[in-house]
Structure 1
């Protein structure tokens, strides 16, 4: 077996995962791969993002490497209350890149539940058991399509949220 090339990226994970450490590792791998894979769109979806590592320096560096004109990051949540407190670096980065970020909230009686997931054109991760951080990830078209349908249903009912600036007029 040949050693990995200098600067080579880790392969995206495939299959089931179990536990917070695996969930965080998969999220970080996906963020690091975003620029390498040249993903034009990424969807981050979670009821509240409280336990995502979005405030970490490595996550912001990875998103910065990915961000460019023509890219889009969709954020979908029930609410975004934890961001100021838990993800300050992300809030600052979001202000600089607001033109490529669409943040939507979907919450209320009769509305679909927001999945905990990352969707990309070629790979996805879906956390099925939020209490134990269990889920599945992979490149299968059926899995990506099913997840995208669930996300799109929430987006149809969603409203703009998490503004880049809280300045008033």
Structure 2
């Protein structure tokens, strides 16, 4: 399935192998833009800590803001969220504002519970199989999407709620 952009300036969703941090960041930006443009119902981001994701960029927040709507679901899965809070300053307030559509879980990295570095949607996915070098594959293949979702779901079940929108005290 080929997705056509609505304007010449909007990127197509990449398909195939990607290599390097710039390629990965471009892929994340393209995915967030496509989510807004196409109104995806669910968006799943999974990474050990999201340290090298462009989540704090103005363009990413604008795309997420455009995507946010009633009936949407945004899932964040990580081993730890302290990096998100520390380096993605624009993302944290957006997360607070849209708490009602966002679910966050943290997973201890033990054995087979390693959190995949991935973006999953019902139509497209990207999996960083080598996060250290930002290498991986993206595409529309239903089998690949299903296998990636199963890996994410396995980590999700092992996780616990994390990254609350607010901290309540007594």
Q: TM-score range by the shorter chain?
A: over 0.9
Matches within 5 A, 1:82-97: 82-97=83-98
Matches within 5 A, 1:27-38: 27-38=28-39
* Correspondence for 2:55: 54
- After TM superposition, give the deviation of residue 130 of structure 1 in Å: 1.1
User: What runs of 5+ residues in structure 1 fail to find an aligned partner?
Assistant: none
Give distance in 2, aligned partners of 1:131 and 1:28: 19
Deviation track 1:46-83 (CA, whole Å, cap 9, x = no partner) reads 00101111011100000000000100100000010112
Deviation track 1:101-120 (CA, whole Å, cap 9, x = no partner) reads 00001115345110000000
How many residues in Structure 1 have an aligned counterpart in Structure 2?
Answer: 166
Contact preservation (8 Å) 2:109, 2:115: no
Give distance in 1, aligned partners of 2:7 and 2:124: 24
* Correspondence for 2:138: 137
- After TM superposition, give the deviation of residue 88 of structure 1 in Å: 1.1
Contact preservation (8 Å) 1:111, 1:157: no
Contact preservation (8 Å) 2:76, 2:102: yes
Aligned-CA RMSD value: 1.5
- TM-score in terms of structure 2 length: 0.93
* Correspondence for 2:127: 126
Judged with a 3 Å threshold, the aligned counterparts in structure 2 of structure 1 residues 92 and 140 are, in CA distance, closer, same or farther, namely same
Matches within 5 A, 1:68-107: 68-107=69-108
- Decide which moves more: 33-42 or 109-118: 109-118
Judged with a 3 Å threshold, the aligned counterparts in structure 2 of structure 1 residues 5 and 53 are, in CA distance, closer, same or farther, namely closer
Give distance in 1, aligned partners of 2:32 and 2:6: 20
Moved over 6 A (4+): none
